[in-house]
Chains A and B, each alone.
Chain A
Amino acid sequence: MSENNISIPEIKFTKLFINGEFVDAVSGKTFETIDPRNEEVIAQVAEGDKEDVDLAVQAAREAFDHGKWPRMTGFERGRIMMKFADLIDQNIEELAAIDAMDGGKLFSWLKSNDIPTVANFLRYYAGAADKIHGEMLKMSKQYQAYTLQEPIGVVGLIIPWNVPSTMFFIKVAPALAAGCTIIVKPAEQTPLSALCYAHLAKLAGIPDGVLNVVTGFGRTVGAAISSHMDVDKVSFTGSTEVGRLIMKAAAESNLKPVSLELGGKAPLLIFNDVDVDNAVDLALLANFYNKGEICVAGSRVYVQEEIYDKFVEKAAEKAKTWVPGDPFDPNARVGPQVDKRQFDKILSYIEHGKKEGATLLVGGKRFGDKGYFIEPTIFADAKEDMLIVKEEIFGPVMSLMKFKTVEEAIEKANKTCYGLAAGIVTKDLNLANRVSRSVRAGIIWINCYFAFDMDCPFGGYKMSGFGRDLGLHSLKKYLQVKSVVTPLHDSPWL
């Protein structure tokens, strides 16, 4: 394991960002954010609670009901968002280093991938801000009618710790474009980059009160946002159990609409006709990317029987190239899990896998003796009723299974309460079409994996949630449809 501590940036922002100012929590409390490489405290961050949420909502409410932001043209909002994107580009290394430390994510990938991508999310939605169209309708009587797509108002965005920057902007960018005002509650495990973005937002010219960030815990800050009578909408990405709490809180308070992006147990279906090396590479990527801490991880790998043995052999071999190590070390490919809780949970699932009788192919234990590093782990000959196959592990643990026919593959792929993503590896056109339509999941990757894109809607089927992020679809989450109807007289056409 590398000793590469040289890129630690100074932590500049640790307070709540409300109405354009960095402020302490009303209670004065703070909480620790931990470095998963060495289990040490990075910084003390302000711990928001209900009173802080009230202040943030008040600021956002005022900014929406009377402020400049929704009253600007979409074009002008877009200009400011473009400036925001430029400021992010000017600070890529620092932002990447913060997420690397806070979340155990690979510094090199953050620098070349995650952070530049969030700037591009901002640019994508900046470009959409002046292209939000309602429709003129075709009434069956003499009426002129049209729909307006209006900003829904004050939105609460509750984001997870696995891809903190990406998730921040997946939600913030379309909400800004729509003309909404926002309270973000970042995950308590990874609060730091969100506060940096708040600072840059102000520099970019986002007016006070439009973007507020309240760091703290789910059961205090998150709960306060979900049940606030003056929040018009909540968008959440995270665990299924918390999704339930949020939806219930919304129902009990002001019946605010919710969008939820929850867990997954995505199947990766690999058919006989593929290049086995490519298939193995995809399967390893699908399971070990971001140390398995990704909702769409292809954790159930089904390989058709003719190539199964060859696949198993190559997977065991190539898994060795997924080297755990310090996220600042350019040679490391698997950083530490985000915190002790996740670390313990994953190791516990691995023990279950061993006890349940799956064959441990590679990995299966902690890596090193400090920090939350786990060896990339593959179980072969796994079965549908094993815990490791049924439940979302959220770590670098692959379950490998064999199948015979396409019908069997489809049935097994769908045999889950989740439905977030699925992968299909085949060269056959008909197989691709049939299986992509038959697997009930919100995104189907054919001969690729994690192929996210700004223009491509993303979200769950079944208990993986509802609502879509990314693409123009996600703007809908932050807009409301208003119909306006007026009688028509003497129109030369209908």
Chain B
Amino acid sequence: MAGESNGSAENVIKIPKIKFTKLFINGEFVDSVSGKTFETIDPRTGEVIARVAQGDKEDVELAVKAAREAFDHGRWPRMPGSERGRIMMKLADLIDENIEELAALDTIDAGKLFSMGKAMDIPGVSGLLRYFAGAADKIHGQTLKMANEYQAYTLLEPIGVVGHITPWNFPSTIFFLKVAPALTAGCTMIVKPAEQTPLSALYYAHLAKLAGIPDGVLNVVTGFGHTAGAAISSHMDVDKISFTGSTEVGRLIMQAAATSNLKAVSLELGGKSPLVIFDDADVDTAVHLALLGILYNKGEICVAGSRVYVQEGIYDEFVKKVAERAKTWTVGDPFDPQILQGPQVDKTQFDKILSYIEHGKKEGATLLTGGKRHGEKGYYIEPTIFTDAKEGMKIVDEEIFGPVMSLMKFKTVEEAIERANNTRYGLAAGIVTKDLNLANRVSRSIRAGTIWINCYFAFDPDCPFGGYKMSGFGRDLGFQGLHKYLQVKSVVTPLHNSPWL
């Protein structure tokens, strides 16, 4: 039985007052043009936290207009990179001064662990800002080596007005994953945060203004995908869209971009990442990584290691240990520091995950642990492990986005590679082995954008992250992440009397 906490309703002492619920356009918090609002729900209880302004096409128009003006005529792209960097550093400092409040917002909005928000997520975003702030004055084009008498160079220019559409699973992290490099590049932007988790984005808008980000540079339009998101994707004056979210919505965005102004698109979509554990692994370490890989953030992470392949030599020992360890994985109120797993983000996800669990049972996989709701209020689900799973089962083929692991046995490295690659996705993969040659061979053979060897979720500001295959294209983080917001311009002039070529 998964570890119990004393239920959901009691531990509501840390709810911060919700200060920002309006759209942030051109430096001001404003109601939506229609006056409409929508509810944002606390997944611990299913109750309404606050009503937030509901942006639609007209609000996106205003935001794009502000961002367009700020880019075409405003200060932001005309500042040197180092000055943009200074302002971004200030924003990072302001975030550091408000860590608890920001962490609490994401906890009540998304059910994320408060302790992790405080120790990792929120400090992580100020770290991201500082990383990109430091890059702002180091964006280099190149002088070229022409085959005729020409002087030529490339300029890396800010692409212009960017639309960022962010998901609900890491509202703060992904906000800055996109906003930080775009700010560094000198772009202006409209962010549409997920409707499930609009609160922290509006807080960051407030801090951005305090930090000195000029009006119109960073706009936040809260609302729904089929209205606000669609308006941004098909806007003729948005130069680029960067999206993280589901594959189906990624398709809609790319189609809208093609139908409108052929704006450049980057997509970071779903995953069904394999974790491949070889015989020479330390079983306790491997078990820990496997549980972390699927239960971290209640399984609501695109790179979740939801397919765990264990080599036959250690399989039985692994199964025994993972079942034991899973029982210690406490589920409950995310404000409780003893808890390791909070509620799923909303009813839709909750129902979907439970439905996949039922499929797993029907399809004949063996339920090792978990398999049902936890408690009777809020969207809590027990950590769930299926063994004897097979490719062809829905639980193995499709992205569940919840705390549900499929555990499978393999014999040879060739088999492991083939099964790891037997998916349309390609976001991440994990390999657990001490063997150098195995590590090199398998890391090159699995077709995924990030390979973690003897670790998992090892993200870093300097490490590019993104998908192969149907997990998307484009990279976030690192200097690769900057390139999404830059355009290459070549400038060519004839050379006369150059002493060298």
Residues in A lying within 8 Å of B, measured CB to CB: 120, 137-141, 143, 145, 147-148, 150, 232, 240, 243-244, 247-248, 250-252, 254-255, 257, 260, 262, 417, 432, 436-437, 441-448, 451, 453-459, 461-463, 465-466, 468, 471, 473, 480-487
**Which residue of the partner chain, among A148, A251, A254, A483, contacts B463 with CB atoms under 8 Å?**
A483
List A contacts of B489 (CB < 8 A): 441-444, 461
Contact with A along B243-256 (1 / 0, CB 8 A): 00001001100110
Tell me the complex Cα distance, A471–B145, Å.
Answer: 9
Query: How many angstroms from the CA of A459 to the CA of B264 in the assembled complex?
Result: 13
Tell me, rounded to whole Å, the shortest Cβ–Cβ distance linking B224 to chain A: 20
Alpha-carbon distance between A458 and B489 when the two chains are bound, in angstroms: 8
| Chain A residues with CB under 8 A of B257 | 247
| Selected contact of A456 from candidates B131, B155, B490, CB within 8 Å | B490
- The answer to whether A457 and B259 touch across the interface, beta carbons within 8 angstroms, is no
The one of A137, A254, A448 that contacts B460, using a Cβ cutoff of 8 Å:
A137
- Residues 131-162 (chain B) with a chain A CB within 8 angstroms: 131, 144-148, 150, 152, 154-155, 157
Cβ contact within 8 Å between A480 and B449 = yes
Contacts of B478 in A (CB 8 A): 137, 147
Q: Does B488 belong to the interface (CB within 8 Å)?
A: yes
Cβ of A455 and Cβ of B146 under 8 Å apart?
Answer: yes
Interface 9-mer from B36-44, B171-179, B212-220, B450-458:
B450-458
By a CB distance below 8 angstroms, the chain B residues around A465 are 262
Q: Are A482 and B451 in contact (CB under 8 A)?
A: yes
Once bound together, how far apart are the Cα atoms of A448 and B261, in whole Å? 30
CB distance from B349 to the nearest CB of A (A): 22
Check B464 for interface membership: any CB of A closer than 8 A. Answer: yes
Check if A484 sits within 8 Å of B451, measured CB to CB. yes
Q: Do A463 and B261 touch (CB < 8 A)? A: yes
A251 pairs with B144, CB closer than 8 A: no
* In the complex, chain B residues 458-482 whose Cβ is within 8 Å of any chain A Cβ: 458, 460-466, 468-470, 472-475, 478, 480
Query: Taking A137-B478, A247-B258, A250-B254 as contacts, is the C-beta distance between A453 and B150 under 8 angstroms?
Result: yes
Shortest beta-carbon distance from A420 to chain B in Å: 11
A-B contact list, 20 entries, CB within 8 Å: A147-B464, A247-B254, A251-B255, A255-B473, A257-B473, A448-B150, A453-B144, A454-B147, A456-B146, A457-B154, A466-B262, A480-B449, A481-B464, A482-B448, A482-B451, A483-B450, A483-B451, A484-B453, A486-B454, A487-B454
Closest-CB distance, B418 to chain A (whole angstroms): 11
CB distance from A265 to the nearest CB of B (A): 15
| Minimal Cβ-Cβ distance residue in B for A244 | B258
- Asked if B424 is at the interface (CB within 8 A of a chain A CB), the reply is yes
Q: Which of B145, B455, B464, B474 contacts A483 (CB 8 A)?
A: B464
Q: When the two chains form the complex, which single residue of B251, B464, B488 contacts A468, counting CB atoms closer than 8 Å?
A: B488
A sample of 12 more A-B contacts (CB under 8 A), given A240-B262, A255-B470, A444-B489, is: A143-B455, A143-B460, A247-B258, A251-B258, A446-B493, A448-B492, A462-B239, A463-B261, A466-B264, A481-B480, A482-B451, A485-B460
Which among B155, B453, B475, B488 has the greatest number of chain A C-beta atoms within 10 A? B488
A445 and B449 contacting across the interface, CB-CB below 8 Å: no
Closest CB in chain B relative to A61 CB, distance in Å: 13
Are A453 and B148 in contact, with the CB atoms below 8 A? yes
Question: Which of these, B147, B458, B487, B493, contacts A453 with CB under 8 Å?
Answer: B147
Determine whether the beta carbon of A140 is less than 8 Å from that of B127.
yes
Query: Are B491 and A436 in contact, with the CB atoms below 8 A?
Result: yes
Instruction: Find chain A residues with CB under 8 A from B487 CB.
Output: 442, 461
Asked if B359 is an interface residue, CB under 8 A from chain A, the answer is: no
Complex CA distance for A248 and B262, rounded to whole angstroms: 10
Q: Is the CB of A140 within 8 A of B460?
A: yes
The total of chain B residues at the interface (CB under 8 A) is 63
Complex CA distance for A461 and B152, rounded to whole angstroms: 18
Bound CA span A437–B462, Å? 29
**CB-nearest residue of chain A to B483:** A476
Residues of B within 8 A of A247 (CB): 254-255, 257-258, 262
Contact A141 B460 (CB under 8 A): yes
Given contacts A442-B488, A451-B492, A462-B239, contact A486 B455 (CB under 8 A): yes
Chain B residues whose C-beta falls within 8 Å of the C-beta of A252 in the assembled complex: 251, 255
Of the candidates A137, A458, A463, the one whose C-beta lies within 8 Å of that of B462 is A137
CA of A455 to CA of B143 in the docked complex: distance in angstroms? 10
Instruction: Provide the bound-state CA to CA distance between A456 and B152, in Å.
Output: 7
Q: Is B443 an interface residue (CB 8 A)?
A: yes
A485 x B455 contact (CB < 8 A)? yes
Contacts of B450 in A (CB 8 A): 482-485
Nearest B residue (CB) for A476 = B483
Which of B239, B460, B461, B490 meets A444, CB within 8 Å? Answer: B490
User: In the docked arrangement, what's the CA distance between A240 and B263, Å?
Assistant: 12
Q: A232-B469, A244-B262, A484-B443 are in contact. Are A432 and B493 (CB under 8 A)?
A: yes
A465–B487 CA distance with the chains assembled, in angstroms: 11
Quick one: which of B251, B259, B267, B488 contacts A244, CB cutoff 8 A?
B259
Q: A240-B262, A444-B492, A446-B493 are in contact. Are A255 and B247 (CB under 8 A)?
A: yes
Determine which residue in B154, B258, B474 has the highest number of CB atoms from chain A within 10 A of its CB, and name it: B258
CB-CB under 8 A from B494, the residues of chain A are 447-448, 451
CB B485 to nearest CB in A, in angstroms, measures 12
Q: Is the pair A485, B452 in contact by a Cβ cutoff of 8 Å?
A: yes
A453 to B490, CA, bound (A): 11
B439 in contact (CB, < 8 A): yes
Q: How far is the CA of A443 from the CA of B269 in the complex (A)?
A: 32
Q: Tell me if A480 and B144 are in contact (CB < 8 A).
A: no
Tell whether B444 is near chain A: CB-to-CB under 8 Å: yes
* Minimum CB–CB distance for B90 against chain A, Å: 20
> Within 8 Å CB of A456, what residues of B?
144, 146, 150, 152, 154, 490, 492
List residues of B (362-380) whose CB comes within 8 Å of A's CBs: none
In the complex, what residues of B have CB within 8 A of residue A257's CB? Answer: 473-474
The 5 A-B residue pairs with the shortest CB-CB distance in the complex, in nearest-first order: A247-B258, A251-B254, A257-B473, A466-B264, A486-B453
The minimal Cβ–Cβ distance linking A186 to chain B, given in whole angstroms, is: 23
B490 pairs with A443, CB closer than 8 A: yes
Please judge, given known A-B contacts A140-B127, A485-B452, whether A248 and B259 are in contact too, CB under 8 Å.
yes
Residue of A whose beta carbon sits closest to that of B452: A485
